[in-house]
Amino acid sequence: MESFVQRLEDAIVTKKSPLVIGLDPDLSRFPPALRTAAAQDKEAAARAILAFNRALIDATCELAAAVKPQAAFYERYGSAGIRALEETAAYARRKGLLVILDAKRGDVPNTAAMYAQAYLAPDSQAACPADALTVNPYLGRDSVDPFVQAAQENGKGIFVLVRTSNPGAGDLQDLTARETGRPLWQEVAAWAAAWAEAARGAEVYSPVGIVAGITYPEEAGFLRRRLPHSYLLLPGVGAQGGKAGDTLPCFDKEGLGALVVAARSVIYAFSRSPYKDRFTPDEFAAASRQAAADLIAELSAAGYKVGR
């Protein structure tokens, strides 16, 4: 069974890109034609979401290693939305993309085990085809153990939330742990480092990665040093203000070890400068392809490259 890390690195090397496209379908931001088509009911909304996602995947699949659908944008539409999520994931796979399901699951151990089975089981048994899952560790270490085990057993990956990109991240993550005197996010990073080391076997990188918001670039750099065997999933580039160049210290010398996430800045590129002057709303997929290509060019200009 090929590991998650092997599949991921094959995609990065083949495409010479660490880009992950976030598929966060907000109907209020859709092109007018799709927004109108979605207005009738949940089924219509789900059909519009799937059409939007397929067009984006077709346009960007040669430029990205993976997609990251955010589950909430699909759950919002009930069973129809869940079907759209499943079909989106399956379509992305057929187009050569890995699927990182951004569901931020985390619960007490017996419930966490059910979440792990739902999203990290073999594809024939899983609720949704996915290669990796984001996991919330803030219920404690035992809440993450089932996800680590399932990832190891099934050739999947997890990305543990350590330092998130939202403005309120520090409300909890900056609190000081009494026993060690470290901020809580550093305490969780130490847990993740231990999980990663235990799970990596003979590979350089472990199936246990972390989420490190690039809106805090110095802290992301700290996490790179602290977790040498974990992939860093780096949200925050673009719409949240993170800069492509800030991601460079998170990669190893071969351009591996990190993934750059771009969601709104790519998928809604048709509605912002400079793309809205070059593409019509009906050309949203072409605008997204150009925005993705521009981000890769920006990374390259900052010094990113794949290979020695």
Asked whether the beta carbons of 116 and 149 are under 8 A apart, the reply is yes
Split at pLDDT 50, 70, 90, the class of 37 is confident
Task: Quote the CA–CA distance of 284 and 33 in Å, as a whole number.
Answer: 11
Asked whether the beta carbons of 295 and 304 are under 8 A apart, the reply is no
Instruction: Give tens-digit pLDDT for 69-123.
Output: 999 999 999 999 999 999 999 999 999 999 999 999 999 999 999 999 999 999 9
Which helix (H) or strand (E) segment is 75 a member of? Answer: helix 72-75
Q: Does residue 229 carry a pLDDT above 80?
A: yes
Task: Quote the CA–CA distance of 279 and 201 in Å, as a whole number.
Answer: 48
- How much is the pLDDT for 244? 84
**Mean pLDDT for the stretch of residues 14-37:** 96
Domain residue spans of the chain: 4-302
Split at pLDDT 50, 70, 90, the class of 308 is low
Q: Does residue 166 carry a pLDDT above 90?
A: no
Size of the chain, expressed as the number of residues it contains: 308
* Sign of the four-CA dihedral 51, 53, 55, 58: negative
- How much is the pLDDT for 245? 87
Task: Quote the CA–CA distance of 31 and 27 in Å, as a whole number.
Answer: 9
Task: Quote the CA–CA distance of 40 and 55 in Å, as a whole number.
Answer: 21
Question: Of 256, 235, 257, nearest to 246 (Cα)?
Answer: 235
pTM: 0.96
- How much is the pLDDT for 240? 67
- How much is the pLDDT for 215? 80
The yes-or-no answer on residue 15 being catalytic is no
Q: DSSP alpha helices (H): ranges in 76-227?
A: 78-94, 109-120, 145-154, 170-173, 184-199, 217-226
- How much is the pLDDT for 233? 96
**CB burial of residue 294 (10 Å; 0-12, 13-18, 19+):** middle
Indicate the CATH number of 4-302 among 3.40.50.620, 3.50.50.60, 3.20.20.70, 2.10.240.10. 3.20.20.70
Task: Quote the CA–CA distance of 13 and 5 in Å, as a whole number.
Answer: 12
Asked whether the beta carbons of 136 and 100 are under 8 A apart, the reply is no
**Mean pLDDT for the stretch of residues 46-65:** 98
Instruction: Give tens-digit pLDDT for 179-205.
Output: 889 999 999 999 999 999 999 999 999
Please pick, among 95, 104, 243, 276, the residue that the annotation labels catalytic. Answer: 104
